[in-house]
Structure 1
Amino acid sequence: MRVLHVLDHSLPLHSGYTFRTRAIMTAQAARAWRVAGVTGVRQGRTTSAVETVDGLTFYRAGDARALPAPFRELAEISALAKRVEAVARMFQPDILHAHSPVLNAMAARRAARRLGLPLIYEIRAFWEDAAVGNGTGREGSLKYRATRALETRAAWQADGVAVICEGLRGDLIARGVDPAKIFVVPNGVDMGLFGDPPPRDEAFAADLGLADAEVIGFIGSFYDYEGLDDLIAAMPALVALRPRAHLLLVGGGPMADGLTAQAAASPVAERIHFAGRVPHGEVERYYALTDILAYPRKAMRLTDLVTPLKPLEAMAQGRLVAASDVGGHRELIEDGVTGTLFPAGDPAGIAAALAGLLAARSSWDARRAAARAYVARERDWARNISRYEPVYQELAHRS
């Protein structure tokens, strides 16, 4: 089987998007499939038209042209379609596998028609909802409705549609997309990357002001939908219940300044620590300092429909996880077994749930073991990757 992936961006850039792509392509290559990727203009400027990163080959479409919307997007689609077609004529794939956003599906569809190849479109999130979540879009706006219409049309036209969770599948079915061609390939992790978690570095903890602390941690991007303002607002009540409690926030993003100001005004400001963005290779040191990883996402379409990757990574590392009870988290976490769920948007409820988990130290080992076993059983890419194979085989033989 030869599969050409059509991507927004890839390694060496680091994001949840690129890590899922790496996991998919690496697991497919481990099955002796031939795989390669083509990235669009959003990859940015690169030194070569072809790059090999972590043993994976990526073909680049070049830089974006400085044009106003929608001419910029039309130019992106045209450039990517031409590059996909050129690479496909050389690579001779059995399948074109396009990944969100919809511009990639539109470019891949154009190339697939010219080449007579089957097309799978993989939707990782509805990007109109992601724009609302990160503050760059407004639900119901003309751009929102146009993007939604293009997304629906792309799903109708694709030969197969992969989604990362049941929430997205249900939404597409409600739009009239044929349920028979939609299949779920959930977010997962490469368990081979996670051995025994590193021990807590006490000197490092002391340097950060976390000596002898019970540490609630968040490691990721600071977007509004992540609900970090609710987590900061929960800290006074949590400290009242657990006097050694501290909050460690690692990362950055659009909400960073607002969260820093909110924390500075908190009556427990000295218990809230910002580490900033850290190199990817340093992240495990921060994970090792935390007792509980908290994910307080707000309730909205994006978080109800989409399952995040970060809680899975924490569970794979044997970390305790607590998260809001939005739909995306409920697909991942069994409350009281593999993690703790608390009410979204409720600082008092967050504080009570975290305090209860901190007090139940005798249950931690069993909780960690159950979470890691769940990820190994249900969300390891070595198993996950098999969900693509029957669809690939059917479409390849049909074409």
Structure 2
Amino acid sequence: MSSAKTAPAVPSFPTEVAGLRVALFSGNYNYVRDGANQALNRLVGYLLRQGADVRVYAPKVEEPAFPATGTLVGVPSFAIPGRAEYRFPLALSPRVRRDLAAFDPHVVHVSSPDVVAHRAVSWARRRGLPILASVHTRFETYFRYYNMAWLEPVIEALMRRFYRRCDALVAPSESMAQVLRDQRMNYDIDIWSRGVDRDIFHPGARSLEWRRELGIADDEVVVGFLGRLVMEKGLDVFSDSIDQLARRGVRHRVLVVGEGPAHDWFAARLPQAVFAGFQGGADLGRAVASMDVLFNPSVTETFGNVTLEAMACRVPVVAAAATGSQSLVDDNVSGRLIAPGAVRQFAEALRCYVEDADLRGRHGAAGEERSLDFSWDRINQAVADTYLRLVRQKAIRSRRR
């Protein structure tokens, strides 16, 4: 009598978002407010609404910039010397490992290539769990702004080792995805774009009264900067371009929206500028809509939330032709894309907008039309779909062994 062989058990895995358990690791989830952190919190909120279970592992501080979405488990960290507003995650401590094991995630998501994320990737690989890495900024480019450009290839090599140990990456724009492919970081790369809150960012938020309170006349054309005041946002290029504009006798006002450690440097460099400080929520929408052109010379963004927010407010954008902005701005249609660091060309693009109200109107309207393509729920579902794909692929490979 022959005995039939028992087929190997097929690993069970979730086939929809409801019931999915996600462990998210972030070096900075809510203690500083920036586009990347807000995107992660929006993602967690969306997953929770769809019935998923999410635990976030990140440094905690006594006074975070905004409340964390979901359950936040603190990891050991210390303040980075010279940039105390940021913290460096130290280790996947025994306490965190116990919490992680008890949570028993289906997928691990890492959002920055720091020490804790490296340990989380090793933890997941030992257990055969799928790993997704999201790319939020071009860390390797930061050293250009601190006289350490020689470190860039070293950092890029370290990042390559990290990202190749992950099963897949998500990048916020196709232009950034192509950079990652060119750098040989990984070859399974999906797009996790960014959305814009149209209840906050819209042309109707424009306020001449608010401008007047800042000392800006109704007939003055405002060149705006929006973002954290840190050197890696291209503050030097912004300042040099504004100098060129002034030398050409072009009448304008500069409005700076944001705060950061380089505030004093920037204020000394642009003494005639209006510094509105940090703005949030509806106040931020009002500030952006009250600009006449946004100038974003940064090359470190992987998407460019500020660019999209300005476009949603019908404000034309002058930006560096770099990752992020290249996927948003249609050159000479909704704004201008200029070679990074090309100060004279930036100044000329700004001059055209300052002196031509019809051009501002046409390009602003085209930008607003483009911004309608970015829905947060649809964008975040793309990440959820990637989780489910990776879980399914890992289960199939396990069954074939």
The answer on 1:14 being equivalent to 2:38 is no
Given the superposition, is the C-alpha separation of residues 125 and 206 from structure 1 closer, same or farther in structure 2, using an over 3 Å criterion? Answer: closer
| Residue number in structure 1 paired with 2:133 | 121
Question: For each residue in 1:3-59, what CA deviation from the matched residue of structure 2 results, as whole angstroms up to 9, or x when unmatched?
Answer: 2211112236412221111222233334x1414242333x33479xxxx94753322
Report the CA distance shift for 1:86/1:260 in structure 2 as closer, same or farther (over 3 A). Answer: same
After TM superposition, give the deviation of residue 120 of structure 1 in Å.
1.0
Q: Is residue 2:204 matched to residue 1:197?
A: yes
The structural deviation recorded for 1:63 is 4.7
**Alpha-carbon shift at residue 279 of structure 1 (Å):** 5.6
Counterpart pick for 2:75 among 54, 61, 82 = 61
Equivalent in 30, 43, 52 of residue 34 of structure 1: 52
Q: In structure 2, what is the Cα distance between the partners aligned to 1:354 and 1:66?
A: 36
Deviations 1:115-164 (A, max 9, x none): 4421112222342323x1552x72333xx555433321222211222222
What residue is the counterpart of 1:381 in the other structure? 376
Q: Which moved more, 1:94-103 or 1:235-244?
A: 235-244
Q: Which residue of 2 aligns with 1:206?
A: 212
CA 1:376 to 1:107, structure 2 compared with 1: closer, same or farther past 3 Å?
Answer: farther
The within-5 A match list for 1:151-230 is 151-179=159-187, 181-191=188-198, 193-194=200-201, 197-202=204-209, 204-212=210-218, 213-230=220-237
In structure 2, distance between residues paired with 1:91 and 1:321: 45
Letter in 2 for 1:102: D
Whether 2:153 is the aligned partner of 1:139: answer no
* 2-structure distance, mates of 1:369, 1:37: 41
Specify whether residues 395 and 222 from structure 1 end up closer, same or farther in structure 2 by C-alpha distance, changes over 3 A only: same
Do 1:102 and 1:151's aligned partners in 2 also have CA atoms closer than 8 Å? Answer: no
Query: Is the contact made by 1:216 and 1:246 (CA closer than 8 Å) also made in structure 2?
Result: yes
Match of 2:61 among 44, 54, 59: 44
CA change 1:371–1:23 in 2 (3 A) is farther
Change (3 A) 1:248 1:10: same
Q: Secondary structure at the residue paired with 1:387?
A: helix
Q: 1:109 aligns with which of 121, 124, 129?
A: 121
3-state SS of 2:148 partner: coil
Distance 1:62 1:228, change over 3 A: closer
Does the 8 Å contact 2:259/2:277 carry over to 1?
Answer: yes
Q: Point out the more displaced range, 10-19 or 342-351.
A: 342-351
Structure 2's unaligned 5+ residue stretches are 1-16, 82-86, 396-401
1:328-356 per-residue CA deviation (whole Å, 9 max, x = no partner) reads 42222101222223444344322321221
Q: Considering only aligned residues, what root-mean-square deviation do their CA atoms show, in Å?
A: 3.4
Cα 1:188–1:242, aligned 2, differ >3 Å: closer, same or farther? farther
Identity rate, percent: 22
The correspondence for 1:98, drawn from 104, 110, 123, is: 110
Distance 2:80 2:342 in 1: 44
- Residue of structure 1 equivalent to 2:297: 296
Normalised by the length of structure 2, the TM-score is 0.78
SS of the counterpart of 1:354?
Answer: helix
- Which has a greater percent of helix? 1
2-structure distance, mates of 1:78, 1:337:
48
Partner of 1:345: 341
* Distance in structure 2 (CA, Å) of the matches to 1:247 and 1:65: 33
Could you report, residue by residue, the CA deviation over 1:258-306 in whole angstroms, capped at 9, with x for unpaired residues? 3333334xxxx4xx223344566633342243111111236xxx46xx3
Deviates further, 315-324 or 230-239:
230-239
More moved, 236-245 vs 385-394:
236-245
Matched letter for residue 207 of structure 2: R
Structure 2: how far apart are the matches of 1:320 and 1:173? Answer: 30
Report the equivalent of 1:259.
266
The DSSP-based 3-state class of the residue aligned with 2:72 is strand
Letter in 2 for 1:40: A
Structure 2 CA distance for partners of 1:317 and 1:56, relative to 1, 3 Å? farther
2:358 is aligned with 1:362 = yes
**In 2 relative to 1, CA 247–117 (structure 1 residues): closer, same or farther, beyond 3 Å?**
same
**Aligned-partner SS, 2:205:** coil
The answer as to whether partners of 1:197 and 1:318 remain within 8 angstroms in 2 is no
**1:44–1:62 contact (8 Å) kept in structure 2:** no
Normalised to the residue count of structure 1, the TM-score between the two structures is: 0.78
Contact 2:131 2:168 in 1 (8 A): yes
Distance change >3 Å, CA 350–CA 150, structure 1 → 2 = closer
CA distance in 2, matches of 1:86, 1:190: 38
From the CA coordinates, give the structure whose radius of gyration is larger.
Answer: 2
